[in-house]
Amino acid sequence: MSAEATSPGARSRRRGRTSIDLRRLGRAALLGPASRDRLPDAIGHVADAHRAHHPDADLLVLGKAYVLAEMSHRGQFRKSGEPYITHPLAVTLILAELGAETTTLTASLLHDTVEDTDVTLDQVRAEFGDEVCYLVDGVTKLEKVDYGAAAEPETFRKMLVATGNDVRVMSIKLADRLHNMRTLGVMRPEKQARIAKVTHDVLIPLAERLGVQALKTELEDLVFAILQPEEYERTRAVIADRATTGPSLDTIAEDVRRTLREADISAEVVIRPRHFVSVHRARLKRGEMRGTDFGRLLVLVGEDADCYAVLGELHTCFTPVISEFKDFIAAPKYNLYQSLHTAVAGLDGAVVEVLIRTHQMHRVAEAGVVALGNPYTPVDGAEPADGERADPTRPGWLSRLLAWQESATDPDTFWTTLRADLAQDREISVFPADGGMLGLPAGATCVDAAYAQYGDDAHGCIGARVNGRLATLSTVLADGDTVQLLLAQGPVQAPGDSGGPGPSPEWLDHARTPAARIAIAGWLAANPESLKVPESEPRAPGAVTAGRRGVANVVVDVPEDATVRLAGCCTPVPPDDVTGFLVRGGAVTVHRAECSAVGRMAALGRSPVAVSWGDEAECRVTLYAESFGRPRLLADLTEAIATAGAAIVSANVEPPSEQRVRHTYTLQLPDAAGLAGLMRAMRDVPGVFDVRRAQHEPAS
């Protein structure tokens, strides 16, 4: 994989690291090993860094891999003039400093051999085993000769699929891209910008998701320098000048150390300078920078409990900024990150951010999945019962990505969707009512949850309950919500056929995850008639009236020829408490006593008329039914009404709105005692979520 000459400014971001002369390493690489029983001099830095994390590591395999890499790359040079072997050496050193285990380092030394030399995967497998071979294959590019313009997106697809089986593939790719970005300076500006843009859109979000902050922050600075050179120079000038207003971080760090010593808490307090992009963001947010804005305090302790002890002391002895407190120990981030975040203010009001974590948490925070070593090592020497290797580093986002990429067969669709998916930089967790957990990007809706839980079966989703309450499919979910997805009974068919309703075009406006959008778009493309909503959905019919009765089953204290009618706003039935009012034309309208119209009549000064129920058992009532739209719903409801022995006097069905339909039925019952059973029967119809009696005037 190509890499170029050293870029200006890279040296300033390598503070605290041993200086390595790539040209010297290149000359040593050409000389080969000094003897057969020790490592080549050229990988001495790698060996030292590796032993610092893994004192008992067997380095012979690294020497063997180096010899193969050096021999196969001999005669190849980078555009900067160094022997090509300096690139795999630098990539391996980056991973060794992060604490990668020996297999990863072996593969990183060989990661370009199959792509750029005559070495084959079969040779790598024969010499180093299946795992190293898989890692090398995972990061090997696809040939432009075979794939043309699709080579880059299909290479990333290949790497992501390989990462799904072994996360170490992406670790090598990230280190490879970091070294290439460090040495990008000799390339044409337009090519630098193109590589930096891909790094910004794809590699940096992947580094964030895998928790490899050490690589992510340096990649951000390198991309920042290329894509926003003016802002980069302005930020560098701000850092060089460093504001002197207020107390310095050194002063506050010493105050924190003294506070923790007095509390008898053993802790290491260090100052963590902000990297360039972080300073840039802080400057845009805060305007004028103070001395404490250029870094954070990092407090490292031995045990989890010590983290909370430190937090208590800081909040007791300093003024805490409550809005800045976050507990990522009790609730770790999706990328394995754990830490306590807080901010405290000194006596003069200067605020400093503080990170509190254990040494192990710090290691994972910096190196992410790389710090976990080999995630596939069997526990106690035993393989998992199901024959599959459990990978604790495979979070929800990666599983989602692997699922939707199978449906995005077109390279352009995959590439565009991948960038959009990775741009969503925050995760939430929601909990299905039947157990388990779904990881979704922030801003996800019930539509996304449906496809995450049920896949293509979510085409039949007709609604949802969020935290026990009915909600539309467009409802945006929050972290920790409980979600119950309601699916139509029967298979989802094309519009006009029997079965579930299928997704509507509006669902695309609500979907945030690629899996949901690809599935919905695929169904709509396969069922174009579903887009013809006015033709395929029946319009609301006018009220259908049959068998109107002229006399209500009530007795009123008025002349016998007066017309009596039951109010449509509340449709009273025996044994409701009722009252009546004279209206125009000498008619008497009978209302339920709790009807809101009674109060309005009294406010107008109208006197009530005494009303009582007669001896007839029959009654008339108006019911409102709320349901999710689906085929045959009206037929099922009318069948339930008929089975309960009620006659439909009139019915009105409103057009669907967000898959919800409102029905209004005026029914004649043979006995008011059967009303409760009728309403239960209507509620039991699939898709109906509420049935109630009329309480007020229906909206026009």
Predicted local confidence at residue 430, as pLDDT = 86
Nearest of 37, 21, 168 to residue 106 by alpha carbon: 168
User: What is the model's pTM?
Assistant: 0.66
Predicted local confidence at residue 699, as pLDDT = 40
Predicted local confidence at residue 566, as pLDDT = 74
Lowest mean pLDDT among 432-436, 486-490, 650-654: 486-490
303 a catalytic residue: no
| Token pair listed for 401 | 């990505």
Task: State yes or no: pLDDT of 688 exceeds 60.
Answer: yes
pLDDT 10s digits, 458-515: 888 888 888 888 888 888 998 888 999 888 765 555 544 434 467 888 888 888 888 8
Task: State yes or no: pLDDT of 569 exceeds 90.
Answer: no
Q: Which of 115, 304, 391, 537 is catalytic?
A: 115
Percent of the chain with pLDDT over 90: 28
- The Cα 695–Cα 699 span in angstroms is 12
Q: Which of 41, 116, 131, 618 is catalytic?
A: 116
Taking the chain, what is the end-to-end CA distance rounded to the nearest angstrom? 69
- The Cα 573–Cα 669 span in angstroms is 10
Are 592 and 559 in contact by the 8 Å Cβ rule? The answer is no
Nearest of 630, 629, 588, 633 to residue 608 by alpha carbon: 588
pLDDT 10s digits, 303-316: 999 999 999 999 99
Calculate mean pLDDT across residues 515-528: 83
- The Cα 302–Cα 356 span in angstroms is 11
Predicted local confidence at residue 339, as pLDDT = 94
594 a catalytic residue: no
pLDDT 10s digits, 330-373: 888 877 889 999 999 876 677 899 999 999 999 989 998 888 76
Predicted local confidence at residue 548, as pLDDT = 33
Q: For residue 469, which phi and psi values (nearest 5 degrees)?
A: -110, 145
Predicted local confidence at residue 647, as pLDDT = 84
Task: State yes or no: pLDDT of 27 exceeds 80.
Answer: no
Predicted local confidence at residue 333, as pLDDT = 80
Question: Could you tell me the pLDDT band of residue 377, with boundaries at 50, 70 and 90?
Answer: low
| Range of 162-176, 530-544, 551-565, 598-612 with top mean pLDDT | 162-176
Q: Which residue has the higher pLDDT, 63 or 375?
A: 63
Question: Could you tell me the pLDDT band of residue 562, with boundaries at 50, 70 and 90?
Answer: low
Question: Could you tell me the pLDDT band of residue 558, with boundaries at 50, 70 and 90?
Answer: low
Question: Could you tell me the pLDDT band of residue 99, with boundaries at 50, 70 and 90?
Answer: very high
> CA separation (Å) from 471 to 161, 342, 468, 476, 659?
36, 36, 9, 10, 11
